[in-house]
Structure 1
Amino acid sequence: MADSYPADDGTYGERPRRRRGRRALVILVILLLVLAGLLVVADRVAAGVAERVVADQINQEISRQNVQASAPEVTVGGFPFLTQVLNGRYDSIKVLLRDVQGPVQGSDATVKVPELTVDARDVTASLDTLRSGQGEVTAKTVQGTGTVTYDSVVALIDRPGVQLREQDGKLGVTAPVRVPVLEQELTVQGTADVTVDGSHIVIGFDRLTSADLPDNPLVQTFVNNFARQLSVRVPLPPLPFALQLHEVRALPSGLAVTASARDVALSEVS
């Protein structure tokens, strides 16, 4: 029988037993927290292993597609990861490819995409694939976003002194042009229409202006012809995972491109 101690009102209670009960509860809570922490660590370690396996698979795939890029950086989304492994389905796998580039036919210029972020959703990969590093990884949808540098576009235009920039959400240009009729050089400015045609970014300049441009139809015609000479088709380097270009926006850092695809093999059976 537990020892009893007099309370303030003269009665006897079993205070030590209650204290022992509270202590046991605290210990149990601590153990559960430690166990939960270990499970989280194990989950993240397993995710790290899977990320390396998928990165190797994707690296082999983009090599087969003749895409030049740095080693892919893979992040597996969703938590807990281990339940996704058992199901063989993953909420999201994000792939970061750096220095994506490729030669342009008929030109010494190189179109550069410093970073291409690929977000694959509803990904299927069996446990055997992750364990052996061989097998198929597929995604229901894939979206890629990247930025083409303005330097790459200027190199394709191949006109001295041309500068491109973002201007109120549009692609702006500043360029020097020598006007024979005036026997002087003017600095002209304007904005372009930017559209998508297959794997090309189409940049069209129709009209340029200058503060020093005289009200002379002959001079204006010459400048408009020069504007059309600045127009260019920018072919993107081969995009991995059958990504199809569908949107281009002018940003301060360059031309932001968005591409997408459905039912994509991130890797093929080895």
Structure 2
Amino acid sequence: MRSPTRISPPQPSPPHSGSPGVHYRNPYEELAELADPEDPDDPLGIGLKPEDDDADLGGRRGKPAGSGSADDGEPWSPPNHRRSSRRRRGRLKAVPRLAKALIGLVVLGLLLVLGDRWAVMYAERKAEEQLQKKLDLATAPRVTIHGFPFLTQVLGKHLQQVDIAVPDVAADRVSLAEVRAQAQDIRIVGDLPSSFKGAVVGRMKGDVLLSFEDLNRELGASQVRFRALGPSSVRADGKLPVANKEVSLHAKAHIRRQGDRGISTSVTDMRLDIPEIATYRPGPGPRAGLFLHKKAAERISEDSEKARALLSVPSVAEKLGLAPEEAGQTRNDDRRLDRITGSPRFVPALLGVNLVQAVNDHPQLARKLGIDPTVAAALARLKVPELTDKLQLSFQLPEKAKGIRLANIGVSPEGIRADLTGAELNFGKTR
């Protein structure tokens, strides 16, 4: 270490000639004197020597690779890049054994779960095939097996719950749009999935749907449409061909349970309309017959020719309150005819006249009233059973679905619904 250089106080410079007093030296010259003399080996003045530079470089300056002396220590060798892998192995060794065991258990658990789910899907597919075959279904059902783990249920031959959805089940004249069932406490007979023989269902519940869309297609033949009318009633509206003419069909069907396995309907308030002219209600009953619409009756009251044609039929004139002699006088007296047809009692009385026999016996009268005689005759020949059969909505559960009962039958916007119940149901070979 250099010894500190003492800074001496400024000395007065020799006075210049002609200048009196003391003269001070230039301060930059003093700072230059304080600096150490320049070292040729350390021109920067930072205290490094050439040998220090060689030392910092491991004695490698100016020496070939691998050369050295005893004073230089071990000879130079290339770097070892395998230290990082040894370091990683060291880190793995540092992981506790418990953590490794936990990781292994997690991986094993995932494999078991995947295997269990695969077994469930396989069993569901096999069950769908067996149900379609045994129940002779046109479409394969959808089977969903609940409960985890599945393999332990198989080993115990006991399933907790199985959901089944069967579309398009034939049921008498119509097909059920969908049957949904939830089976619980299922005891398996045989071994899944290879030697499955059957099963016993402890409890079952579900529902069936008879959709209006299917009814329209299967019963209505694209001409009659069914829709909900109330909680237990259905309305049918459409067209019906009669004597090569189309008449409007309207009816109500009341839904009720038939035993424990069927649904039946009673058709009421059926009528066939000749638009804007008359309505035919098939008999028997007090309202059965052919009756004019109000607008048609009002037109007759304003048309003297049609009124005379009606009064020419004694049975019709009698219904209007005119005796045969009085009816004859009225037909020949315009003032009297206008007085009778203009009476406020004429239209209501005419609406109550059953024209079935009159139009059949007097075709000319039917034509004057705007009714085709052939249509009127065909309507009169229609029988109630023939018409109600076209609107019959009843069905029965398939015979193979033994032990299942219907309950809580009602009408929804989609169609007719009923609940399914059952207990201790046998499927396949259970003995």
Q: Does 1:135 align with 2:197?
A: yes
Quick one: which of 160, 163, 166 aligns to 1:94? 163
Quick one: which of 108, 114, 128 aligns to 2:177? 114
Q: Does 1:265 align with 2:426?
A: yes
Rate the CA distance shift 1:202–1:131 in 2: closer, same or farther, 3 A: closer
**DSSP 3-state at the match of 1:136:** strand
**In the TM superposition, what is the alpha-carbon distance from 1:96 to its structure 2 partner?**
2.4
**In the TM superposition, what is the alpha-carbon distance from 1:174 to its structure 2 partner?**
4.3
Quick one: which of 44, 47, 57 aligns to 2:130? 57
Q: Does 1:175 align with 2:237?
A: yes
Distance 1:56 1:177 in 2: 42
Quick one: which of 228, 231, 251 aligns to 2:412? 251
Quick one: which of 227, 230, 241 aligns to 2:401? 241
Distance 2:248 2:178 in 1: 36
**In the TM superposition, what is the alpha-carbon distance from 1:85 to its structure 2 partner?**
1.5
In 2, are the aligned partners of 1:241 and 1:261 still within 8 Å (CA)? no
Match of 1:232 in 2: 392
Match of 1:123 in 2: 186
Match of 1:107 in 2: none
Distance 2:248 2:140 in 1: 46
Distance 2:222 2:177 in 1: 24
**In the TM superposition, what is the alpha-carbon distance from 1:49 to its structure 2 partner?**
2.9
Rate the CA distance shift 1:57–1:154 in 2: closer, same or farther, 3 A: closer
**In the TM superposition, what is the alpha-carbon distance from 1:164 to its structure 2 partner?**
1.4
Quick one: which of 175, 200, 203 aligns to 2:262? 200
Match of 1:7 in 2: none
Point out where structure 1 has 5 or more consecutive residues left out of the alignment.
Answer: 1-15, 105-109, 179-184, 220-224
Distance 1:255 1:143 in 2: 17
Q: TM-score, normalised by structure 2?
A: 0.44
Q: Does 1:38 align with 2:111?
A: yes
**In the TM superposition, what is the alpha-carbon distance from 1:111 to its structure 2 partner?**
0.7
Rate the CA distance shift 1:135–1:176 in 2: closer, same or farther, 3 A: closer
**In the TM superposition, what is the alpha-carbon distance from 1:122 to its structure 2 partner?**
0.7
Q: Does 1:78 align with 2:238?
A: no
Equivalent residue pairs, number? 231
Identity within the alignment, % = 21
Residue identity matched to 2:144: T
**In the TM superposition, what is the alpha-carbon distance from 1:232 to its structure 2 partner?**
3.2
RMSD over aligned Cα atoms: 4.1
Distance 1:141 1:240 in 2: 18
Distance 2:132 2:221 in 1: 37
Rate the CA distance shift 1:37–1:187 in 2: closer, same or farther, 3 A: same
Distance 2:210 2:158 in 1: 33
**In the TM superposition, what is the alpha-carbon distance from 1:241 to its structure 2 partner?**
3.1
**DSSP 3-state at the match of 1:241:** coil
Rate the CA distance shift 1:153–1:81 in 2: closer, same or farther, 3 A: same
**In the TM superposition, what is the alpha-carbon distance from 1:41 to its structure 2 partner?**
0.9
What does the per-residue CA deviation read over 1:38-74, in whole Å, with 9 as the maximum and x for residues that have no partner? 12111112222322343343334313xxxx4322332
What does the per-residue CA deviation read over 1:182-222, in whole Å, with 9 as the maximum and x for residues that have no partner? xxx777575x4311103332223445799x97676678xxx
**In the TM superposition, what is the alpha-carbon distance from 1:81 to its structure 2 partner?**
1.0
**DSSP 3-state at the match of 1:175:** strand
In 2, are the aligned partners of 1:88 and 1:125 still within 8 Å (CA)? yes
Distance 1:196 1:256 in 2: 11
Distance 1:134 1:29 in 2: 38
**In the TM superposition, what is the alpha-carbon distance from 1:125 to its structure 2 partner?**
0.8
In 2, are the aligned partners of 1:241 and 1:265 still within 8 Å (CA)? no
Distance 1:72 1:82 in 2: 23
Distance 1:40 1:88 in 2: 19
**In the TM superposition, what is the alpha-carbon distance from 1:235 to its structure 2 partner?**
1.9
Match of 2:209 in 1: 147
Q: Which has the higher contact order (CA 8 A, sep 6+)?
A: 1
In 1, are the aligned partners of 2:200 and 2:430 still within 8 Å (CA)? no
- Which protein shows a greater Rg? 2
